[in-house]
Amino acid sequence: MTSADTEERHSDAFVRRITEQCLRDRGRRAALRRGLRRPPEQAHTMHAVVAPLLRPSMRQDQEYAYYAVAAMIAATVRDRPNIGRTDETAEVDEAEDPATGDTGRGSRPNLGQSLAWAVCRPGPGRRAMNRATAEKRLHLLVRQGYPGVYQHLAGVVRHLGGVDSQVDWAQLLDDLCRWRYYRDQVAKSWLQSFYRTLHDADRRAEKQHHPSLEESA
């Protein structure tokens, strides 16, 4: 068992516990939501919910990530309670996703892929996010350092919720825990996923309009 595996399981468990508490208790959900865009030192209403779920040895930048994700879950859980990773989504990751064309790169959907989904596959009855807007928001986000990234992230997540684009909160939490020291690697992953997903969507759309292209491929 690697430390990465342990961290992943902890992030999944954290997301699940926060989501459950938001769904069960409106007061706790409101307390978490009031911490949006606030560092842990100023998020006084969040401690009763979040602190018992954290490891005492956690770094300050990791703690910030956990508080930020908890606040964002609370701000969006009313619209989409089915968030985080489950055994079912794990099985889907192993095969090609018919909606995205992702052929099992062995990775969970990150924020870049969620932004691409907002452009090419918004929720039913939702208006797709403008491609240039999504690209601009992503590029602005990946240029941010720590802790500046959190001031922009909440707005991006809010726009994703507006088009019902799914966010894997546990994956986002894992990425944010690495942001301070491995921002370039995380940023590359988000950008690559964004452009790959859009490219796959464009290719499928072109084949639908020109079936002969698929036959000649």
Structure tokens at 77: 């859980």
Calpha distance 200→175 (Å, rounded)? 24
Domain of 200 in residue numbering reads as 3-85+94-209
Q: What is the CATH number of the domain that holds 160?
A: 1.10.520.40
Q: For residue 217, is it within any domain? A: no
- Nearest to 76, CA basis, from 182, 159, 199: 159
Q: Residue 146 pLDDT more than 80? A: yes
In sequence order, what are the residues at sequence separation of 6 or more whose Cβ sits closer than 8 angstroms to the Cβ of residue 163? 118, 122, 123, 126, 127, 128, 129
Q: Residue 26, exposed/middle/buried by CB under 10 A (0-12, 13-18, 19+)? A: exposed
Q: For residue 215, is it within any domain? A: no
Q: For residue 53, is it within any domain? A: yes
Q: For residue 131, is it within any domain? A: yes
Q: For residue 139, is it within any domain? A: yes
Structure tokens at 197: 């997903």
Question: pTM of the predicted model, to two decimals?
Answer: 0.82
Q: For residue 78, is it within any domain? A: yes
18-28 confidence digits (pLDDT tens): 999 999 999 99
Q: What is the pLDDT of residue 215?
A: 52
Q: Is 104 left (phi over 0), alpha (psi -120 to 50) or beta?
A: left
Q: For residue 11, is it within any domain? A: yes
Q: What is the CA radius of gyration of the chain?
A: 18
44-77 confidence digits (pLDDT tens): 999 999 999 999 999 999 999 999 999 999 999 8
Q: Residue 217 pLDDT more than 70? A: no
- Nearest to 111, CA basis, from 16, 193, 10, 8: 193
Q: What is the pLDDT of residue 2?
A: 56
Q: How many domains does the chain have?
A: 1
| Candidate from 85-99, 134-148, 164-178 with smallest mean pLDDT | 85-99
Q: For residue 216, is it within any domain? A: no
